Amino acid sequence: MLLRRILTRLLTTLVTLLGVSVVVFVVIRVVPGNPIAMMLPPGATQADIDRLNALYGFDRSIAEQYVIWLGGVLQGDFGTSIQARQPVLRLVLNRLPATLELSIMALVIAVVLGGFLALTGTRLRGSRGEGAIDVTNGMALSVPDFLWGLVLILVFGVLWPVFHISGRVSPQYIQEFTTNFFLFESVLRLRLDLWLDLVSHMLMPALALAIPLAAIIGQLLKQSLKETMHLDYVTLARTKGYRENHVILREALPNAVLPTLTLIGVQFTFLIGGTVIIERLFSYEGLGNMAIDAVINRDLPLIQGIVILFAVLFTAINLIVDLLYAVLNPRLRHA
């Protein structure tokens, strides 16, 4: 049964991805402005235009272009960026690590912060402290990452300038890296100086992304904990004389954590979607920032590649979460 579930899920994922590629392809090709026109020097002849159109395939019908493009994609060829004149796949893969590192850092912050809020809220339940945590959560939840980013820039970039508010790493360090996973590499090579510089650049954008998610995690986990705390086995643990902290962490938490895990999976994709504008705000050289430049430059092949990559990332995460859930939840395993 599990196998069949996995296969069905894989199939729907494929259908979704195919749908995404069709939508992107069609939307982009409705562009009224001709992207070719922007590449030409003034005084180019019609023959030049035709030649470039043929080169990028813009002279064929949309359906034909799609089939050709899809054929290329299946062989790992996403076309050539109009602006950078380099393979889209290479450009995109070069930027992907920056976005992944930022997203994962944000996720870790969100989980730690949200978990802390939920546990403290449970520990303080019934007191003013719990009320304060609920209000904080509500605030953090209703304001999106873009605004948190601006607030962080004001507070930690201007009023009390302790963190960097633009870029990924200080310019003098860029030559030091051999891979594009800067943060990961700095840890592996035990380069504390590089690591500190990276973190002081990444902390603000990561925190901006993390705050809304932390609030969601805090809210849901606290709710689940509250329900679990009323169960008989928890009362039993308490009558056995275990301390409150032990009861919450060891008895209630393991049973309360599953809904939050699922939620984190879904919300993680939203967080990655948020990197687009946050990277722009903090001039962080990731995929999102490149995407906005590509849109402004009307670099069709590049936009296409980036959107598809994001979609693959999203569906992959959803797939993994679903499968993990099926494996982790014994009730679904035998369903």
Partner 1 sequence: MLDARGLVRRRLGLRLWLSGGWLLLLLFAALLAPWIAPHNPLEQDLFTSRLPPFWMPGAEPGYWLGTDSLGRDVLSRIMHGARIALIVAFIAGTATMLIGATLGLIAGYYRGWADIVISRLIDIWMAFPPVLFAILLIAVMGPGLTSVIVAIIVIDWTRFARVVRAEAMTQGAMDYVASARVAGQRRLGTMLTEILPNVLPTIGVLLTLEMGIAVIVEAILSFVNLSISTDAPTWGGMIAEGRLAIHQAWWVLVFPLITLFLTVLSFSQLGEGLKDRYDPVLR
Q: Is the dihedral of CA 301, 287, 145, 216 positive or negative?
A: positive
- Under DSSP, the state recorded for 41 is P
Smallest gap from Cβ 175 to partner 1, in A, equals 28
From residue 165, alpha-carbon distances to 61, 201, 228 in Å are 45, 6, 42
Choice from 5, 9, 17, 58 touching partner 1 (CB under 8 A): 17
What CA–CA distance (Å, rounded) separates 277 from 55?
Answer: 32
Q: Does 138 bind partner 1 (CB under 8 A)?
A: yes
Smallest gap from Cβ 7 to partner 1, in A, equals 17
Locus of tokens 């430049």: 293
Q: Does 15 bind partner 1 (CB under 8 A)?
A: yes
Smallest gap from Cβ 97 to partner 1, in A, equals 17
Q: Find the largest Cα–Cα distance for the chain.
A: 88
What CA–CA distance (Å, rounded) separates 17 from 310?
Answer: 10
Cα 238 vs. chain centroid, distance in angstroms? 40
Q: Does 295 bind partner 1 (CB under 8 A)?
A: yes
Q: Does 16 bind partner 1 (CB under 8 A)?
A: yes
* Closer residue to partner 1, CB minimum distance, 114 or 212: 212
Smallest gap from Cβ 43 to partner 1, in A, equals 26
Q: Strand, coil or helix: what is 80?
A: strand
Q: Strand, coil or helix: what is 236?
A: helix
Smallest gap from Cβ 147 to partner 1, in A, equals 6
The window from 52-60, 167-175, 231-239, 300-308 that contacts partner 1 (CB under 8 A) reads 300-308
For every residue of 153-164, DSSP letters joined together read IIIIIIIS--S-
Choice from 57, 87, 157, 259 touching partner 1 (CB under 8 A): 157
Q: Does 281 bind partner 1 (CB under 8 A)?
A: yes
Q: Print the binding letters for residues 230-269 with partner 1: x by CB under 8 A, - otherwise.
A: ---------------------------------------x
Q: Strand, coil or helix: what is 87?
A: strand
What CA–CA distance (Å, rounded) separates 117 from 134?
Answer: 9
Q: Does 303 bind partner 1 (CB under 8 A)?
A: yes
Q: How many CB atoms lie within 10 A of CB 92?
A: 22
Q: Give me the residues that bind partner 1 (CB under 8 A), please.
A: 12, 15-17, 19-20, 23-24, 27-28, 30-33, 126, 131, 138-139, 141-144, 146-147, 150-151, 153-154, 157-158, 269, 272-274, 276-277, 280-281, 288, 291-292, 295-296, 298, 303, 306-307, 310-311, 314-315
